[in-house]
Structure 1
Amino acid sequence: MKPAAKLPPVRNTAWQHLFGLATTKEQMGEVVELFPRWRDSKRQFDATNVEAFIRRCEELHCPDLALKVFSDHPKYGIDLCSLPAARRLLHSLHVEHPLQEAILLAALFSVYNLPPISSDLVSCAMLTSACFKHGSPQSLTIAREMVPHLKDMLQKVKPQKMTLATEPVERAKDSAKEKAWLAWTLNKIEKALKKDGADYAWLHQWRMDSGHIQLAP
């Protein structure tokens, strides 16, 4: 039996190059299979590489692959190390993928010592919107439990600070994208609350004050 090949010396920055070379989910899967060998060499991925990995999975329409990696830390050894990274992954999952994947990601927040999803405005809004959209008794229960947290956080955020950027350069920034995700999901949540027969005046007013409502489709 041949001895296992050792992973050649790889600089941390080389991973971003490998991510960029992958043009399909299958190719990204091949890159992912190198992760355990990197872990075994006692190396760690920095936050920049983690966010680059998630971004590339999003671009290749395979956020479920990223979720698989973060769901099996003993095998892959990569930490979901920041809220921006977690938000981006949740954004990729919450619309076009099964709800259970978004819920699994929400559970991973505590595993990676991130704030609870119910205390992060953008993440809370995305998960609440996904649960309302799913429409099952169980998902509606989760959505209704999240709404008070959402309301409390909105009351603490000045609407003017969440105004959407209009200049292309500003809109390209991650912080501006997160505001756009929030605006889009709050629009969906307001419609869901109205359909559910629940009070939505507080949300409508906040969206008016932030300028989101004027830009909603």
Structure 2
Amino acid sequence: MILYMALMCVFSYILSRIFPGIYLRVKKNTLQQYKELKEEDDNVGIFPLISVLMFLLPVVIYSLSNDRLLSVYCFLLAVVGYSDLSSRWIPDIFIYLLLGLSVYSLPTEEVSSSLYAAVFFVAPALLLSAYGYIIKREQWIASGDYYLFPSVGMMVLPEYAAGMMLLALWFTLLLTRWFQKVPLVTVVYFTFSGYQICHLSGWLSFSFF
């Protein structure tokens, strides 16, 4: 109890010192995003072929797994991925639903490994963002994407989580050679779906643990 109280005192002191800086950075980022949104035109992209492909993948995953919960999760992630592709907008309700489904689907004995997977999945994106901010003074990944990433990470085995995010980042960087403003969340959706199909088909049979 004494150790717990000491830790809380240290945490509260550190928080009181760093909170103003955190708040100002978040406020500045929010105002910048608002400015960019205000300056954007009202054109919303229409991508019927990509939409069909995205919403067929949950059907493929269900046919391989017979897991309705996983299929629903993939469907909701497809909605988020297409919304980000079409309008650069992710509805908050879908973020909450995806997070709720990922937590609900966790077996009790796998909670710790799923949390590790979420950390491993988010880590490469955080490192890239830190590099972009410190070295280039640029924001390379939208802050809203980080609300979604832990949910996706919890649905992946820990040994593949970091590799999946690295692959998604690589594909995103590759696509930016031909297309402007490739949404990372959309690429993450395809990477996640590809992982699930490979995993359910038995093509991912090795483990590092």
TM-score range, shorter chain: under 0.3
TM-score by length of 1: 0.26
* TM-score in terms of structure 2 length: 0.26
Higher normalized contact order (CA 8 Å, seq sep 6+, divided by chain length): 2
